[in-house]
Chain A
Amino acid sequence: MSLLRALLLSLCAFAWNAHAAKLVDDRGVTLELARPPQRIVTMLPSLTEVVCELGACSRLVGLDDFSNWPAQVRQLPRLGGLEDTNIERVIALKPDLVLLASSSRAVGRLESLGIKVATLEPKTLADLRRMWAQLAQALQVPDGAARWQRLEAKVDAAAARLPAALRGTTVYFEVNSAPYAASEDSFIGELLARIGAVNIVPGKLGPFPKLNPEFVVRANPQVIMISDHDARALDTRPGWDRIRAVRDGRVCLFDAQQGDVLVRPGPRMSQAVQLMVDCLQKRGRQP
């Protein structure tokens, strides 16, 4: 009997080890890790934030130029942007795992130099959840799932703060003055749906479509969410002074820091939801 138990235990331990040492990335490549990585380089702000949220901030040794949260990562060496990763400096840090965006051109170069590379790029809530689970497994964070549940609960709590009367407010979220919008299909759109706002840009146009400005005038949104430096010329765009949101001053301006919170899928999505709820409460029309 005790023999059987020992066998079972060892099997379990084996299973746990095999379980822990794997990371399946966005390319579908399975990474075998002999032990949990201790020297991690992240080249995407979302990845940095998730790794830190999983309690592994101290294992980071290098970052991309744009990661700026949490505050404790600001001292770490910067290794370039998304397209211009400094390969030499990455190698010099002797990382045992490099986490990159899927679009990064450094992937092939780093792999040929014998570095373990995983590409993870959360573009939707489902991506984020999958990436979260993969990283928790690779970093051997035992309560990864529980942390995700807590984050979900915080998002729900923030969303619930929106008065029922303001649900169904039509919103236009502009990412860039070209104008590129965040559609229902983007991460931002998913968060808007979470609080019950109606995005005027349907998901079938792709996550960040470049719109005909006339489309926005047509849709006549009640609230516009936009970054503060794109907002200045809003009422000078032809016909835009007729949009309800512009006419009634229901335009929410987000500064650069708030913009980071909104556009990065990661552990701060509860704050992002809070920003959206605050915006609608301040600017939305009380019936």
Chain B
Amino acid sequence: MTRPAALALLLLVASVLLCVAGVAVGSLGWEPVWMRGGDASAAILWEIRLPRTLGAWLAGALLGLAGAVAQGLFRNPLADPYLLGSATGAALGVAVLLVLIGASPMAASGWAARLGITGAAFAGAVAAVLVTLALAKGVQHTLRLLLAGVVVGMVFGAFAALVMFWEPDIMRAMQAFLLGTTGFLGWGSVGLLAALFVVNLAAAVMFSRALDALSLGDTTARSLGVSLGPVRVVLIGVMALATGAAVAQVGLIAFIGLVAPHLVRAAVKPTHRWLLPLASLAGGVLLLAADVLARWLLAPRELPVGVLTAVLGGGYLLWLMHRRPL
């Protein structure tokens, strides 16, 4: 078996084990409900823990995929999925929604309620990416895109901070969103995340050879017969959609998109055909592990899952770097 295939198998086994753990860890800590039976337990298992567990894995996988795409596309090991401004865009969307709901009960019962935090976050993320693309005049200049993304991220972040300053009441809800939360994932969210994951992974893998060529530079890629225009459009689309969906469902979970591809690269040196699915698997494993621990450590209290992803992923990466330079 090749090394990437072995790693994929390892990550799949870890995913399955973590899914079992995710279903067994609840508000009382380790309590495998399948041992007890009973109507309430079955409901908790099927309606809360299972969708939450699968949703956390899928959101992590989307972030890992978006991170691998971003690092390949921008040829920059520091690139992460939030690079096009989607994170702060989502934060601004949520902040504005919370203010609208707080300000008028009419909005709270009307369209704002139907939109929800999820919808507002997605709308904000998409808006920020569109502004970035407009500022960069399309996707053809990677450096312009990178710079525009950073600027848009700053500006949207500043607006979000301004909204929070005006309405300090929303601070606590915003903090929960900024640290990420996997607590309210239901079957609807899981369906949406799964569909987007399949579509995005397929699209990204289809262009994986172009990503390989791109790693040698634009000119070389062009001389190898890669038409860069459509490649960039599709990959930016994948990045924006995957990030937007994940952020909308679980909030701003830091670090997974950055660290998942590096974890894979630290173990094997794959081409993008392998890197993209492996980074997704690593992202899923990472977020699910963080989610299980977040529920478990202080049960029935919950740690913010974003804090744990940074500690777990960052800690592991530092250990790898200590063992042998990347």
Let me know if B299 is at the binding interface, CB within 8 A. Answer: yes
CA distance A176 to B28 in the complex (A): 22
Let me know if B270 is at the binding interface, CB within 8 A. Answer: no
Scan B71-96; emit 1 where CB is below 8 A from any A CB, else 0.
Answer: 00000000000000000000000000
With A180-B172, A212-B295 given, is the CB distance from A229 to B301 under 8 Å? no
Cβ–Cβ contact B109 & A217, under 8 A: no
Scan A170-200; emit 1 where CB is below 8 A from any B CB, else 0.
Answer: 0000011111100000000000000000000
Q: Which of B46-54, B127-135, B147-155, B276-284 contacts A (4 or more CB under 8 A)?
A: B46-54
CA distance A73 to B222 in the complex (A): 71
Cβ–Cβ contact A233 & B47, under 8 A: no
Let me know if B37 is at the binding interface, CB within 8 A. Answer: no
Of A180, A209, A229, the contact of B101 (CB 8 Å cutoff): A229
Cβ–Cβ contact B47 & A178, under 8 A: no
- Report the minimum CB–CB distance from B88 to chain A (whole Å): 20
Q: Which of B180-188, B240-248, B259-267, B317-325 contacts A (4 or more CB under 8 A)?
A: B180-188
Let me know if A81 is at the binding interface, CB within 8 A. Answer: yes
Place the interface of chain B in its size category. 35 or more
Cβ–Cβ contact B48 & A209, under 8 A: no
Chain B hits for A176, CB < 8 A = 172-173, 176
Cβ–Cβ contact B49 & A214, under 8 A: yes
Scan A228-249; emit 1 where CB is below 8 A from any B CB, else 0.
Answer: 1100110011110010000000
Cβ–Cβ contact B301 & A209, under 8 A: yes
Cβ–Cβ contact B48 & A210, under 8 A: no
Most buried by A among B172, B185, B301: B301
Let me know if B228 is at the binding interface, CB within 8 A. Answer: no
Of B27, B44, B108, B301, the contact of A232 (CB 8 Å cutoff): B108
Cβ–Cβ contact B27 & A238, under 8 A: no
Cβ–Cβ contact A212 & B300, under 8 A: yes
Cβ–Cβ contact B44 & A218, under 8 A: yes
With A206-B301, A211-B300, A218-B27 given, is the CB distance from A233 to B108 under 8 Å? no
Nearest B residue to A202 via CB reads B300
Cβ–Cβ contact B47 & A228, under 8 A: no
CA distance A179 to B181 in the complex (A): 10
Cβ–Cβ contact B301 & A211, under 8 A: yes
Chain A hits for B186, CB < 8 A = 236-238
Apart from the given pairs A215-B300, A233-B116, 6 other A-B contacts in the complex at a CB distance below 8 Å: A175-B172, A176-B172, A209-B300, A215-B27, A218-B27, A238-B47
7 examples of A-B residue contacts, CB within 8 angstroms: A212-B295, A220-B40, A232-B109, A233-B116, A238-B51, A239-B43, A239-B48
